[in-house]
Amino acid sequence: MIRAFLFLWFAWQTLSPEAAQHMQAGIVADKQRQFDVAIAEFRKVTQLEPTFADGFISLGQTYMEKHDLASAVAPLKRALEANPDSAPAHQLLGYALLAQGYAAEAIPHLQRVGDKTGLGVAEIQTGQLPEAIANLQAALADRPNDPDLLYYLGRASGLLSKQSIDTLVAAYPDSPRAHQAMAENYFVLRQMPEAEKEYREALRLRPEILEVHLELGEVYAGAFQWAKAEEEFRAQTQLQPGNAEAAYRLGAALLEQGKAHEARAEFLRADKLLPDMPETLYSLGKAASLEGDATAAEKEWTRLLSIEKETSLAAQAHFGLAGLYRKQGKTEAAKHEMQEFQRLQGGANPQAPGK
């Protein structure tokens, strides 16, 4: 900071009094957001001192503040002619070019100053996705949870994923993974018959392929074909007995069909594989309740409430407990649970998420 101040002070010493006066006036006008006045003053500086880089930088910066990016480029380039090592000029020019879509031209300037955010965004536009991800991750380390950075990182990762899949499909169109990838694409587009067909083809080509049974089960679950969903989830659990999600999904498909006892066994298995997952605990309670095992249902829902207190699942657990206590004639306890349920739902007329 002190070094920059000294640099500016020495630079200013070289200015003519008239140029320094215009420079000062430009700075004041810029602070007051009188951009046109500032631009006129900085322009006079550049006319009086055509080798004074800071005059051009100030002029370019003011154009950028005025959102006139196209006009900013020329003075910033002149600044770099005057001082090729000017970091502010490189950075501003990099952003001015990037904002206008000239990502490839922007990259060298951003590289000169090591601006990882700008570089990451520019590299997305030039298709240098691994580099973009690396730069954005580095930037995110400095500014965790920055929404713009998170967005661009997600975008870069998604594009890289798509690029890999496109390469896979183009190079090996009949491979099991290509069919799986195409199925996933159809699934996202909710084109379920096409998704089903591609998943089936992937399984035909490689019966032991991982995840496909799970994903195909989701296709059937989305189409309310619970028996078929059960079949696929069961196949996944046979391929991967240690997959907690597969056990959970199988339990859910069984529960939808009213097979509470079998569902409960799968939920128990899921809970053992991956303990204390709130969704599993809620479903365990529900299956136990359906089986008429009030003690177990109470235990699981209470367990859930020890982990989650303010979520929609917590609300559902309170609702379930209210029902249990009502059946047991524990009026006060039922009333309390219902009050908790209503509190979490935000009133007496609860709204369902995602209707």
Partner 1 sequence: MLKTLLCISFIVATVLSAAALVASVFDVNLPLGLDFILQNSPTPQKYLIETMPGGVALLDYNNDGLLDIFLVNGGRITSPMQTPETFDRHDPRYWNRLYRQNKDGSFTDVTEQAGLANAGDGNYGMGVAVGDYDNDGYPDLFVTNYGKNILYHNNGDGTFSDVTAKAGVAGGGWSVSAGFFDYDNDGKLDLFVTRYMDWDTKHSKDCGGNYHTYCPPEEFPSTTSILYHNNGDGTFTDVSQRSGIAAKKGRALGVAFADYDEDGFTDIFVANDGMQQYLFHNNGNGTFTELGLEAGAALSEDGRRLSGMGVVFQDYDNDGRPDVIVTELPREIYGVYHNDGGGSFSHRSLETGLGVLSSGSSGWGVGLEDFDNDGWKDLFVAQGHVLDNVERIDPSLHYLELPLVAMNHNSRFERVDSGSATPVAGRGAAFGDLNNDGWQDVVMTYLGGHPQVFMNRGGKLHWLVVSLRGTRSNRDGFGARVKVNGQTRFATSAGSYASSSDKRLHYGLGAAEKAKVEIVWPSGIHQTLDDVHADQFLEVREPEKP
Residues at the site binding partner 1, with contacts judged by CB under 8 A: 190-193, 222-224, 226-227, 255-258, 260, 286, 290, 315-316, 318-320, 322-323, 326-327, 329, 338, 341, 345, 348-353, 355
- Least separation in angstroms between residue 113's CB and partner 1 is 43
| Cα separation, 138 vs 159, whole angstroms | 19
- Least separation in angstroms between residue 177's CB and partner 1 is 25
| Cα separation, 301 vs 278, whole angstroms | 9
- Least separation in angstroms between residue 219's CB and partner 1 is 9
Q: Which is nearer to partner 1, 125 or 225 (CB)?
A: 225
Q: What are the residues whose beta carbons fall under 8 Å from the beta carbon of 94, sequence distance 6 or more?
A: 106, 107, 109, 110, 112, 113, 115, 118, 122
Q: Which is nearer to partner 1, 54 or 230 (CB)?
A: 230
Q: Which is nearer to partner 1, 63 or 319 (CB)?
A: 319
Q: Which is nearer to partner 1, 212 or 221 (CB)?
A: 221
- Least separation in angstroms between residue 245's CB and partner 1 is 20
Q: Which is nearer to partner 1, 78 or 286 (CB)?
A: 286
Q: Kindly give the interhelix angle for 212-222 and 226-239, rounded to the nearest 10 degrees.
A: 170
- Least separation in angstroms between residue 205's CB and partner 1 is 24
| Cα separation, 22 vs 45, whole angstroms | 6
- Least separation in angstroms between residue 165's CB and partner 1 is 23
Q: Which is nearer to partner 1, 99 or 290 (CB)?
A: 290
Burial environment of residue 341 by CB neighbours within 10 A (0 to 12, 13 to 18, 19 or more): buried
Q: What are the residues whose beta carbons fall under 8 Å from the beta carbon of 49, sequence distance 6 or more?
A: 15, 16, 19, 55
| Cα separation, 11 vs 128, whole angstroms | 39
How many separate helices (H) and strands (E) can be counted in the chain?
20, 0
Residue pair 281/303 in contact by the 8 Å Cβ criterion: yes
Among 198, 307, 290, which Cα is nearest to 251's? 290
Which secondary-structure segment (H or E) carries 123? helix 116-126
Q: Which is nearer to partner 1, 123 or 232 (CB)?
A: 232
Q: Which is nearer to partner 1, 145 or 349 (CB)?
A: 349
Q: What angle do CA 83, 86, 89 make, to 5 degrees?
A: 105
- Least separation in angstroms between residue 354's CB and partner 1 is 9
Residue pair 93/115 in contact by the 8 Å Cβ criterion: no
- Least separation in angstroms between residue 349's CB and partner 1 is 5
